[in-house]
Amino acid sequence: MVGVGGAPRLPPDRILTQDEIDRVFLNLQDSGKSGEPGGRAQSYDFRRPDRIAKDQLRSIHVLHDNFCRGLASSLSAYLRAYVMVNLVSVEQLSYMEFSRCLPSPTCLTSLGMRPFDGNAVLELNPALVFPVLEMLLGGSGKSAVKMSREITEIEQSVLEGLQRIILHDLKEAWNAVANIDFVIEKHETEPQLLQILAPNEAVVAISIEVRVGETSGMMNLGLPSIIVKMLRQKFDQRWSIRKSESSEDEQARILRLIKPALLRLDARLQGPRLTVDDMLQLKEGDVLALDYPTDRNLDCLVNGKLKLKGRIVSTDRLRAFRADRLHRPAD
Amino acid identity of 173? A
Cα–Cα distance for residue pair 273/276, rounded to 1 Å: 10
pLDDT in tens, 43-69: 655 555 556 777 778 888 888 888 898
Sheet strands (E) in the chain:
83-94, 107-114, 119-124, 181-188, 202-212, 215-224, 265-268, 298-302, 305-315, 318-326
**What are the angstrom distances between the C-alpha of 188 and each of 148, 158, 254?**
15, 16, 42
pLDDT of residue 244: 47
- How buried is residue 50: exposed, middle or buried, by Cβ count under 10 Å (0-12/13-18/19+)? exposed
Confidence (pLDDT) at 42 = 62
Domains along the chain with CATH numbers: 54-255 (3.40.1550.10), 265-326 (2.30.330.10)
- Residue 224, Cβ neighbours under 10 Å: how many? 23
Identify the segments of the chain with pLDDT beneath 70: 1-16, 28-51, 141, 143-145, 235-246, 271, 294, 330-331
Cα–Cα dist 215/133, whole Å: 12
- The pLDDT, as a whole number, for residue 99 is 85
What pLDDT does residue 31 have?
A: 56
